[in-house]
Chains A and B, each alone.
Chain A
Amino acid sequence: MWIVLAFISVVSIAAVGFVIWPLFRPHSTLILSEGEEGLAELLTRKDATLQAIKDLEFDHNVGKIEDADFEYFNQILRRRAVLLLQRIERYAPQTAQLEETLEVEIAARRRVNPSDQKQRDH
Chain B
Amino acid sequence: MIFDFGYLILVVALLLAAFGMVAGFWAGHKYEKSGAELAERLTASSFHAVFAVAALVSIAAAILWYGLLTDQFQIRYVWNSSERSLPTFYKFASLWGGQAGSLLFWTLLLGLFSAAAALTFRNTQRPLMPFVNSALLATLLFFLTLLVFSANPFERVGILPPDGRGLNPLLQNYWMVIHPVMLYLGWVGLSVPFAFAVAALLSKRLDRRWVRTVRRWTLIPWMFLSAGIIMGSQWAYMELGWGGYWAWDPVENASFLPWLTATAFLHSIIIQEQRGILKVWNVTLIWLTYTLVVLGTFTTRSGILSSVHSFAQSPIGPYFLVFLAFTTIGFLLLLFLRMRYLQGENEIDSISSREGAFLANNWLFAGIAFVVLWGTFFPMFSEILTGDRITVAAPWFNKVAGPLFLLLFVLMGVGPLLGWRRTGAAAFRRQFTWPGLAALLSAPCFLLTSRNPFPVAGLSVCVFVAATILQEFIRGLNARRRTKGEPFPAALLGLLRRNGRRYGGYIVHFGIMLIGVAIIGNEFYQSTTHVTLSAGESVDLSGYTLTYTNLDSQRRSNHTEMRANLLVADAESGRLLDQIAPRRNIYDKAPDQPTSEVGLRMTPAEDVYVILNGWQGDGSSATFTIYINPLTMWMWIGGLLIILGTVISVWPHTTGTSDRSPVTRIPATGQWSLATDP
Whether A27 and B40, one on each chain, are in contact in the complex, defined by CB atoms closer than 8 angstroms, is yes
Report if A92-B31 is in contact (Cβ < 8 Å); known contacts: A8-B8, A19-B52, A64-B418: no
Whether B48 and A19, one on each chain, are in contact in the complex, defined by CB atoms closer than 8 angstroms, is yes
Contact of A23 among B42, B657, B673 (CB under 8 A): B42
Check: B656 CB closer than 8 A to any chain A CB: yes
Size class of the A contact interface (CB-based, 8 Å)? 35 or more
Whether A12 and B127, one on each chain, are in contact in the complex, defined by CB atoms closer than 8 angstroms, is no
Check: A22 CB closer than 8 A to any chain B CB: yes
Check: B668 CB closer than 8 A to any chain A CB: yes
A20 CA / B22 CA spacing, docked (Å): 13
Contact of A3 among B1, B20, B655 (CB under 8 A): B1
Whether A27 and B41, one on each chain, are in contact in the complex, defined by CB atoms closer than 8 angstroms, is yes
A39 CA / B472 CA spacing, docked (Å): 37
Whether B430 and A95, one on each chain, are in contact in the complex, defined by CB atoms closer than 8 angstroms, is no
Check: B212 CB closer than 8 A to any chain A CB: yes
In the complex, residue of chain A having the shortest beta-carbon distance to the beta carbon of B35: A31
Whether B427 and A31, one on each chain, are in contact in the complex, defined by CB atoms closer than 8 angstroms, is no
Report if A30-B665 is in contact (Cβ < 8 Å); known contacts: A22-B41, A69-B424, A95-B672: yes
A99 CA / B421 CA spacing, docked (Å): 29
Q: What count of chain B residues pass the 8 Å CB interface test?
A: 69
Report if A40-B52 is in contact (Cβ < 8 Å); known contacts: A12-B12, A31-B126, A55-B420: no
A36 CA / B42 CA spacing, docked (Å): 21
In the complex, residue of chain B having the shortest beta-carbon distance to the beta carbon of A63: B430
Check: A119 CB closer than 8 A to any chain B CB: no
What chain A residues lie within 8 Å of B16 (beta carbons)?
A: 15-16, 19
What chain B residues lie within 8 Å of A48 (beta carbons)?
A: 208, 212, 273-274, 657
Report if A44-B476 is in contact (Cβ < 8 Å); known contacts: A4-B5, A16-B16, A31-B40: no
Report if A27-B37 is in contact (Cβ < 8 Å); known contacts: A44-B661, A44-B662, A59-B420: yes
Check: A121 CB closer than 8 A to any chain B CB: no
Report if A30-B663 is in contact (Cβ < 8 Å); known contacts: A19-B49, A61-B483: no
Whether B476 and A62, one on each chain, are in contact in the complex, defined by CB atoms closer than 8 angstroms, is yes
In the complex, residue of chain B having the shortest beta-carbon distance to the beta carbon of A91: B672
Which of chain B's residues 192-208 have a Cβ closer than 8 Å to chain A? 205, 207-208
Q: Mark B1-28, 1 if CB is under 8 A from A, else 0.
A: 1001100110010001001100000000
Check: A89 CB closer than 8 A to any chain B CB: no
Check: B295 CB closer than 8 A to any chain A CB: no
Check: A107 CB closer than 8 A to any chain B CB: no
Check: B479 CB closer than 8 A to any chain A CB: yes
Check: B667 CB closer than 8 A to any chain A CB: yes
Check: B29 CB closer than 8 A to any chain A CB: no
Q: Mark B640-678, 1 if CB is under 8 A from A, else 0.
A: 000000000000000111100111010110011110000
What chain A residues lie within 8 Å of B349 (beta carbons)?
A: 73
Contact of B674 among A23, A65, A98 (CB under 8 A): A98
What chain B residues lie within 8 Å of A98 (beta carbons)?
A: 672-674
In the complex, residue of chain A having the shortest beta-carbon distance to the beta carbon of B31: A31
Whether B672 and A65, one on each chain, are in contact in the complex, defined by CB atoms closer than 8 angstroms, is no
Whether B126 and A22, one on each chain, are in contact in the complex, defined by CB atoms closer than 8 angstroms, is no
Check: A52 CB closer than 8 A to any chain B CB: yes
A1 CA / B207 CA spacing, docked (Å): 55
In the complex, residue of chain B having the shortest beta-carbon distance to the beta carbon of A99: B674
Whether B56 and A19, one on each chain, are in contact in the complex, defined by CB atoms closer than 8 angstroms, is no
Contact of A27 among B44, B123, B479, B662 (CB under 8 A): B44
Whether A21 and B662, one on each chain, are in contact in the complex, defined by CB atoms closer than 8 angstroms, is no
Check: A32 CB closer than 8 A to any chain B CB: yes
What chain A residues lie within 8 Å of B5 (beta carbons)?
A: 4, 7-8
A36 CA / B672 CA spacing, docked (Å): 9
Whether A29 and B40, one on each chain, are in contact in the complex, defined by CB atoms closer than 8 angstroms, is yes
State how many angstroms separate the Cβ of B665 from the closest Cβ of chain A. 6
State how many angstroms separate the Cβ of A74 from the closest Cβ of chain B. 10
Whether B127 and A32, one on each chain, are in contact in the complex, defined by CB atoms closer than 8 angstroms, is yes
Report if A29-B667 is in contact (Cβ < 8 Å); known contacts: A15-B56, A66-B426: yes
State how many angstroms separate the Cβ of B342 from the closest Cβ of chain A. 15
A101 CA / B655 CA spacing, docked (Å): 12
What chain A residues lie within 8 Å of B37 (beta carbons)?
A: 27, 29
State how many angstroms separate the Cβ of A98 from the closest Cβ of chain B. 6
Whether A44 and B209, one on each chain, are in contact in the complex, defined by CB atoms closer than 8 angstroms, is yes
A42 CA / B650 CA spacing, docked (Å): 24
Check: A11 CB closer than 8 A to any chain B CB: yes
Whether B48 and A11, one on each chain, are in contact in the complex, defined by CB atoms closer than 8 angstroms, is no
Which of chain B's residues 106-154 have a Cβ closer than 8 Å to chain A? 123, 126-127
A68 CA / B665 CA spacing, docked (Å): 43
State how many angstroms separate the Cβ of A56 from the closest Cβ of chain B. 6
Report if A56-B421 is in contact (Cβ < 8 Å); known contacts: A27-B41, A29-B36, A40-B662: yes
Report if A30-B667 is in contact (Cβ < 8 Å); known contacts: A23-B45, A44-B662, A47-B657: yes
Whether B44 and A52, one on each chain, are in contact in the complex, defined by CB atoms closer than 8 angstroms, is no
Check: A90 CB closer than 8 A to any chain B CB: no
Report if A65-B422 is in contact (Cβ < 8 Å); known contacts: A23-B41, A27-B44, A30-B667: yes
A50 CA / B665 CA spacing, docked (Å): 23
Contact of B208 among A29, A37, A45, A95 (CB under 8 A): A45
A69 CA / B421 CA spacing, docked (Å): 9
**Can you identify 17 A-B contacts, CB atoms within 8 angstroms?**
A12-B8, A15-B16, A15-B55, A19-B49, A21-B48, A23-B44, A24-B41, A27-B41, A30-B126, A30-B665, A32-B126, A40-B663, A45-B207, A56-B419, A59-B420, A65-B422, A69-B422
A47-B658, A65-B424 known; 4 new pairs, CB 8 Å cut-off, are: A16-B12, A43-B662, A61-B479, A99-B674
Closest CB pairs A-B (n = 7): A22-B44, A64-B419, A59-B419, A43-B662, A66-B424, A40-B663, A65-B419
